[in-house]
Amino acid sequence: MLTYLIRRLFAVAVMLVVIILAVFCIFFLIPKWTGTDPATMFVGKQADKESIEGIRQKLQLDDPVLVQLFEFFKGIFFGRDYVGGGDTTHCSAPCFGYSFRSEQEIWPVLTDRLPVTLSLALGAAIIWLLIGLSVGVLSALKRGSLWDRLAMTGALAGVSLPVYFTGLLSLAVFAYQFDLVANSFTPFGENVSKWFSGMILPWITLAFLFGAMYARLTRATMLEVMGEDYIRTARAKGLKEPVVIGKHAMRSTMTPILTLLGIDIGALMGGAILTETTFSIPGLGQAVLKAINERDLPLILGVTLITATAVVIANLIVDLLYGVIDPRVRLG
Amino acid sequence: MTDHEHKDDAVPAKKVKAGKGTDAAKAESPEAESPTAESKAESTKATGTTGASVTPEDAAPARGAGGLASSGTAAGEPELEKQPPKAFLEVRDLRVHFPTQDGLVKSVDGLSFSLEKGKTLGIVGESGSGKSVTSLGLMGLHTVGQYGRQRPHLSGEIWLNGQELLTADPDEMRKLRGREISMIFQDPLSALHPFFTVGDQIVEAYRVHHKVDKKAARRRAIELLDRVGIPEPAKRFSSYPHEFSGGMRQRAMIAMSLVNNPELLIADEPTTALDVTVQAQILDLIRDLQQEFGSAVIIITHDLGVVAELSDDILVMYGGRCVEYGTAEKVFYEPQHPYTWGLLGSMPRIDRDRADRLIPVKGSPPSLINIPQGCAFNPRCPYADVPAGGVTRTERPELRETQPGHLSACHMEPEDRQRIWTEEIVPKL
């Protein structure tokens, strides 16, 4: 188990290095080839030659690619110093550089916004698991019934309706018309109950989308599992049907759902852009949307790395949980 | 035609044994039993021909292990219906029909047999003959967990220890499952849950029916694992099914099915998924355990070698019906039905020339939606052309006693059958 864990952690480290390399290529080489000068983007087009030159020096844009790469890595793991124009700016590790627009350090922006996105994703995940699993199981057990058809129609709607539609609709109805919940985001640190009230609609909106997918997956998996021989054995033992379903069938149904959950939560760390924008939640998604609009390369780069890391780590956790659920994949 | 009249004459004489009341009831309201009337007429007619005067109603309880009942006859006597039999297990006219989009699949269509405690019945037949459907019917597993699927239609009677199972309360039936009746399945790898340890699965089977703590259940499970020949049972208790070999898995499965001392054990092709070397061990184990526990055992297989080793009685199924039923000795040494001959011929003989080692039954099993109108085996029967006293091909041969304790469903005259068996079949076997 321990050797497996070490091996996996090593693989994660290699993976992250590869991701950083790829990100570096995309954000440093492509601007070079397309002729967009990061220095111009940093200072603005109206700036004079000297300040552009100063920035070029400071960002070491004229150095060989390998030197730039080395500095980039060094910045992430140990921090780096930007020297130029007569002063030195220290950017402590992990250093992703400075925003082209706000000229703020990227890392604090990320750490500010990550918890918001995390709370959005995890809260929604709890709701969509509860809804998706129960609807899926019920649909499987009542296959072909009116309930099944209604639930699956609802699931189809959930999958196909965009978040900005369901989100805005729920905002209009529950926040503005009936005033049941808050219509805007309040930071957790400011007021917990207001934060909760403001998060309910985003959670439900996001959960509606994902819950629909989970309901469909649960239903399909459950139907498959119910046809397994060991379910017949469980009944042949004289077990009550709730035990047969809740214990024997659910255990097997959980495996594919867990896999999907790991990928989904990891991917949501990159920001639920639509949900965050719809509900004005200051998470990573909103930040990255703004960054894309403003061609703020360092910020995009930071969010990309965070997302990739989250997916890799979520997958590692899922794989470890897999071993707990399914003894056949338990590795030594 | 004269032949036909002669047979009809024989009916009253025979029916006296079955009791006057039933006879009168029959005479007064023949249309009341219209679904079975035709088959009954055939049945009685046939019995008249052979001269044997056995009706299942009086014969079955008296015969013990070899309690032989013919199909389709119990349904017409209302006053005899739902009467608990003396036999430990008695199945009367069991029918399991599956409604499908293509039509009604008659997987089991009028099966009757009985079994005493401590005895073994072998049910033999090829794939799709209704063997497994019968066993699931005995377990009551056709009616649970059919979520959203069309439930099969079950009719007939299954009596176990004086209790009728088909009409039993579902929860009552559930309590019997695993405790009174338990089952060993064909492929232990897929029949055991891959995510739970073998020990836990046995403990679970025990604790459903016994109010004991986990420790006691664990002791019981280890005791059973030890009994079925699993080395280091305390250690293997915590193993998962995939960590066991095929034979060990089936041993564990057997341990699980015996943990509650069931009175009836159904083994559905228990050795099919196993290596040949392991098969014999498992069969030995089942026989030993039966002697030890005194259960009644139904062993379902397509392998005549397996039933030869274990069974007291043999029931040969074809197309959802019983075609031959008798003691193992009778069925093996004096088989009456061409299909049974075919099964015997399908056992390879290494001491013959290569071309003669195997005599397969030609053709394929009948579709259970469109079962041939007359004898279901007719299209594949090499002796279908043997004249059979005026019966037409669309007439279905009913199960009738050819010798005491031996029933078969074939139109052929006994003399012809005897001749073909001794002159044509035996030399080839």
Question: pLDDT under 50 in chain B at which residues?
Answer: 1-80
Are A132 and A126 a contacting pair, CB within 8 Å? no
Asked, for residue B251, whether it belongs to a domain, the answer is: no
Average pLDDT of every residue of chain A? 85
Rounded CA separation B364/B379 (Å): 9
What letter represents residue A58's amino acid? K
CATH 1.10.3720.10 intervals, chain A: 107-329
The model's pTM: 0.77
Task: Tell me the pairing of strands B296-301 and B120-124.
Answer: parallel
| Cα–Cα nearest to B256, from B197, B198, B306, B305 | B198
- A280: tokens are 């004005």
* Chain B residues lying within 8 Å of A228, measured CB to CB: 190
- Whether residue A162 is predicted with pLDDT greater than 50 in this model: the reply is yes
pLDDT digits (tens, 9 = 90+) for A44-84: 667 777 777 777 777 777 777 788 888 888 888 888 877 76
Query: To the nearest whole angstrom, how far is the Cα of B193 from the nearest Cα of chain A?
Result: 5
- The pLDDT, as a whole number, for residue B362 is 81
Asked, for residue B176, whether it belongs to a domain, the answer is: yes
Q: What is the mean pLDDT of residues A10-37?
A: 80
Q: Is residue A149 less than 8 Å (CB to CB) from chain B?
A: no
Chain Cα centroid distance, residue B135: 8
Task: Supply the CATH number for residue B158's domain.
Answer: 3.40.50.300
Instruction: Calculate helix-pair angle for A146-160, A106-141, nearest 10 degrees.
Output: 160
The answer to whether the bond into B61 is cis (omega within 30° of 0) is no
- The pLDDT, as a whole number, for residue B8 is 41
pLDDT digits (tens, 9 = 90+) for A256-289: 998 899 888 888 887 788 899 889 889 898 888 8
Minimal-distance CA residue of chain A relative to B202: A237
Q: What is the mean pLDDT of residues A194-210?
A: 90
Look-up of token digits 């707990």: A324
pLDDT digits (tens, 9 = 90+) for A217-235: 999 999 999 989 999 999 9
| Cα–Cα nearest to B302, from B137, B128, B183 | B128
Radius of gyration of chain B measured on its C-alpha atoms: 23
* Chain B residues lying within 8 Å of A233, measured CB to CB: 185, 191-193
- The pLDDT, as a whole number, for residue B40 is 40
- The pLDDT, as a whole number, for residue B222 is 95
> B141, A145: Cβ pair inside 8 Å?
no
- The pLDDT, as a whole number, for residue A330 is 66
* Chain B residues lying within 8 Å of A235, measured CB to CB: 141, 144-145, 177
Number of domains chain B contains: 1
Rounded CA separation B140/B166 (Å): 7
- Whether residue A332 is predicted with pLDDT greater than 80 in this model: the reply is no
> B191, A327: Cβ pair inside 8 Å?
no
Query: To the nearest whole angstrom, how far is the Cα of A154 from the nearest Cα of chain B?
Result: 19
Are A164 and A278 a contacting pair, CB within 8 Å? yes
* Chain A residues lying within 8 Å of B265, measured CB to CB: none
Query: To the nearest whole angstrom, how far is the Cα of B149 from the nearest Cα of chain A?
Result: 8
- The pLDDT, as a whole number, for residue B81 is 52
Residue B161: half-sphere exposure toward Cβ, Cα within 13 Å: 10
Asked, for residue B309, whether it belongs to a domain, the answer is: yes
Q: Is residue A242 less than 8 Å (CB to CB) from chain B?
A: no
Q: Is residue A62 less than 8 Å (CB to CB) from chain B?
A: no
> A241, B183: Cβ pair inside 8 Å?
no
Residue B192: half-sphere exposure toward Cβ, Cα within 13 Å: 29
Look-up of token digits 């030399």: B427
- The pLDDT, as a whole number, for residue A236 is 93
- Whether residue A102 is predicted with pLDDT greater than 60 in this model: the reply is yes
Of A137, A232, A235, A237, which to mutate for an interface test with B (greatest number of B Cβ within 10 Å)? A237
Q: What is the mean pLDDT of residues A294-316?
A: 85
- The pLDDT, as a whole number, for residue A250 is 92
Q: Is residue A326 less than 8 Å (CB to CB) from chain B?
A: yes
Asked, for residue B238, whether it belongs to a domain, the answer is: no
- Whether residue A92 is predicted with pLDDT greater than 80 in this model: the reply is no
Query: To the nearest whole angstrom, how far is the Cα of B303 from the nearest Cα of chain A?
Result: 22
- The pLDDT, as a whole number, for residue B7 is 41
* Chain B residues lying within 8 Å of A241, measured CB to CB: 144-145
Confidence of residue A190 (pLDDT cuts 50, 70, 90): confident
Q: CATH classification of A107-329 is 1.10.3720.10, yes or no?
A: yes
| Chain B residues with CB within 8 Å of chain A CB | 136, 139, 141, 144-145, 147-149, 174-179, 182-183, 185, 187, 190-197, 204-205, 208-209, 240, 242, 256
H or E element, residue B154: strand B153-160
Q: Across the A/B interface, how many CB contacts are shorter than 8 Å? A: 86
What is the domain range of residue B38?
A: 2-180+262-428
- B127: tokens are 């794939």
